[in-house]
Structure 1
């Protein structure tokens, strides 16, 4: 499947797996009819030489897929034992925490002709929200990560869908195996607040029981290390939400001593909004569980939560209560200043766009929101038939999409839309989707934990 062009959409539908009738709760069995070996007879183990391989990741994928179809969620540890999970998350965390806030991603190679022949490219993926089976399909459909095929995932791996843990662990395995070819950026749902509201915390508790709080803490620590943005080939900026404000201190800014005597800005004039710089982005403190609301730490909140607008200018995002709205003039300013051609962001699925009549819908998994002199702003969403659980009978039936950026300039986006793997294995939701309908309406800023302490998680219990 190779189609060139700026707005070409290629659609593929995988053969549907079979599944059983729906259970009544999240712990009920998810049984399919696929004939495959029972991985519980030989649970997954870390490679004896300590190095992950493609074959090992293929085995991990197959085992997690099998368990989602044949086991009750609390039986996942029989396939994925806690010591293996801990080692995988720790190995990935050690890599992620060393990466900068804004990654510089380049396709290295001395032979341009060979790079073209090999189909050298960067694949950009939007929100996947725990839709594990669609992620498996996407990886295969797009051509698995390799030396000549870089993947950039734009956040929101967990919540909403029923297999956030499996999704996150699979992507961490690819990161450990190919740390310089697989890049995982942070989404707004990689936070303590969102995971406590939209299901991931409870999912972990159900699947790992008494060991759940320990697993959840390790995942949160890993979230803290996820970078915020990337620059691909010096020409494409990617981030989950998008652009961000400048937080240069005003003359009236106060400084106080934080932990270990570090000086922190506690007062920034938010009445004067202007676009932030990449230099400011690099200096922002990302190791917080939820976006803080002061000083230079405003930047992570903007990067993860902001949205584009067709109206010119930069303003506070009143609908979400966090982040910004930015217009085409801001997109042009940012692209021109840094000699970029594209901004690829995610963050808005069909439910969010359904209420924003000023922007295009998310039926095909992507929209072009701004087209300006210097380039384009694209919103990319990779979770088809989203959300998995919905209170209304009428579904959006959206397609998901990913983008391929080809060597050598990486500036002509090739769009690939795809449909959901159906039917999904039957399982219950881990959050009250009938009440928790929309993140814009449900966002409770006062309940967010603005620090990086995980002490409160230790006492977490399942409802």
Structure 2
């Protein structure tokens, strides 16, 4: 629960009064412009309470003013209201309308979204893990510049869990997606799953915020997770995914029993040999599974969401996590060369994970360059500074977050923007037992995950 004094209440402003604009909200001291190399922002809430509860536009058409009002309202509420008051900010019927609008768009997108209409003055902002760190997300959006006709955004997943504002973070991104569906792309992370959200806090967060409608809201979020695309290819040169590369699913038909016509042929995957998969195979994977399977014929989603790079050559099972793959620099070179790519940007590993990965760089600056090969590079990008929000020791990693800007004409040349955490954060209690729960980079309790392939 939020540890805050009783909120001040005011009368709603007249209906004719417009909601605060993005300039009104973001001109406050908490969102002062930051250096692109090392921002150190501080926080103070917007001076006046916003108009609540929020309502969905009568014609179901979002505007920039509506989305920025949503952002300012969530920021104010995070500092002034307890979680149980969330329905007074965003009533469940407004939540339903937003999630439904976004889900309809997301479910129609392919597994690999291609961003090819990058004009001469265009830029693409790539964002890594966010993990419910609302105030850092708001700063990032302001610092990078809001999505626009000439500014694309690709988010690499892990919007929820660990932090205390996963719901607000996810809803803000869904609002941007509805407002600008061809400029904002939301990819799926491994935490956008039933298993992870039941362990790392998001489920309990939604139940705490929506009370007796919490189970309904959580189910709606899970349904939306199923529609999130898996990967992107930017300007034909840059591949992004939450975890990374994936295997080829080689299958051999089993023998058909003699004398029985039309008997279904059971296809068995060849598990003894691993090779990199193709973009065509990726396009055919079934992504609409809440928990990507670690066995069977639909392994590509699990690989894309859970795999990690290694300095050891070759492709091998990711035994540390119990799902996905480990791939070496030779695999990065093979993938880049085969598909005429220059750059891979993935996320998935924060400072806690990298602490346990000898041979790979730490996450102090919010990014690492893991592989440099003949055809290009592999980068890990992490956008949650001072992560995780809750830690079992008083010593913190104090890592910076980062985002990448790709610009015309060399979209494969990353420009890194690092930033520090917004301080102070509102005081909150965690929605999960962070002292005892296993890290998501350790071997998972796969038996508790539902296998649907």
2:58 aligned with 1:57: no
Q: Size of the alignment, in residue pairs?
A: 415
- Cross-structure match for 2:178: 176
Q: For residues 144 and 34 of structure 1, do their structure 2 counterparts lie closer, same or farther at Cα, with a shift above 3 Å needed?
A: closer
1:83 aligns to 2:93 (yes or no):
yes
State the structure with bigger RCO (CA 8 A, min sep 6), 1 or 2: 1
Find the aligned partners of 1:248 and 1:84 in 2 and give their Cα distance: 45
Aligned partners of 2:438 and 2:82: how far apart in 1? 26
Instruction: Tell me which moved more, 98-107 or 179-188.
Output: 98-107
1:34 deviates by 4.8
**Deviation of residue 265 (structure 1)?**
6.1
CA distance in 2, matches of 1:178, 1:265: 43
What TM-score, normalized to structure 2? 0.89
Moved over 2 A (4+): 250-255, 263-267, 293-296
Cα gap change, 1:83 to 1:390, in 2 (>3 Å): same
Pair 373,438 (structure 1): closer, same or farther in 2 beyond 3 Å: same
Counterpart position of 1:73: 83
Task: Note the C-alpha offset of 1:319.
Answer: 0.5
Aligned to 2:317: 316
SS in 1 for 2:126: strand
Question: Is the deviation greater in 285-294 or in 137-146?
Answer: 285-294
**Partner Cα separation in structure 2 for residue 353 and residue 81 of structure 1:** 40
Deviation string for 1:48-98 (max 9, x for gaps)? 232111100111001111110000001011010000000000000000000
Aligned to 1:103: 113
Which residue pairs with 1:342 in the alignment? 343
Unaligned runs of 5+ in 2: 1-34
Q: Distance in 2 between matches of 1:291 and 1:177?
A: 29
Task: Give the C-alpha shift of residue 228 in structure 1.
Answer: 0.3
- Cα deviations by residue, 1:118-162 (Å, 9 ceiling, x for unpaired): xx2000000000001100000000011000000000000000000
- What is the aligned-residue RMSD (CA, Å)? 1.9
Residue 136 and residue 388 in structure 1: after superposition, are their counterparts in 2 closer, same or farther (change >3 A)?
Answer: same
**Cα distance change of structure 1 residues 442 and 312 upon mapping to structure 2, 3 Å threshold:** closer
Distance in 1 between the 2:332 and 2:265 partners? 30
Instruction: Determine the C-alpha separation between the residues in 2 that align with 1:264 and 1:411.
Output: 44
Q: CA deviation at 1:36?
A: 1.2
Residues 264, 126 of structure 1: alpha-carbon distance in 2 compared, 3 angstrom cutoff? farther
1:417-442 superposed Cα distances (whole Å, 9 cap, x missing partner): 00000110111000000001411336
| Contact 2:243 2:308 (8 Å CA) reproduced | yes
The Cα offsets for residues 367-413 of structure 1, whole Å up to 9 and x where unpaired, read as 00000000000000000000000001100000000000001230100
Provide the secondary structure at the position in 2 that maps to 1:193: helix
Say whether the 8 Å CA contact 1:310–1:359 is kept in structure 2: yes
Q: Does residue 1:10 correspond to 2:37, yes or no?
A: yes
Paired position in structure 2 for 1:36: 48
* Residue ranges of structure 1 left out of the alignment (5+ in a row): 1-7, 18-32, 256-260, 453-463
SS of structure 1 residue aligned to 2:370: strand
The answer to whether the 8 Å contact 2:314/2:327 transfers is: yes
Q: CA distance change for structure 1 residues 253 and 166 in 2, over 3 Å: closer, same or farther?
A: farther
State the match for 1:277 in structure 2. Answer: 278
Q: Give the Cα–Cα distance (whole angstroms) in 2 for the partners of residues 253 and 424 of structure 1.
A: 62
Q: 1:207 and 1:442, CA in 2 relative to 1: closer, same or farther beyond 3 A?
A: farther
CA contact (8 A) 1:284 1:296 kept: no
- Paired residues of 1:250 and 1:268 also in contact (CA < 8 A): yes
Match of 2:217 in 1: 215
3-state SS, counterpart of residue 250 of structure 1: strand
- Contact 2:294–2:324, Cα closer than 8 Å, also in 1: no
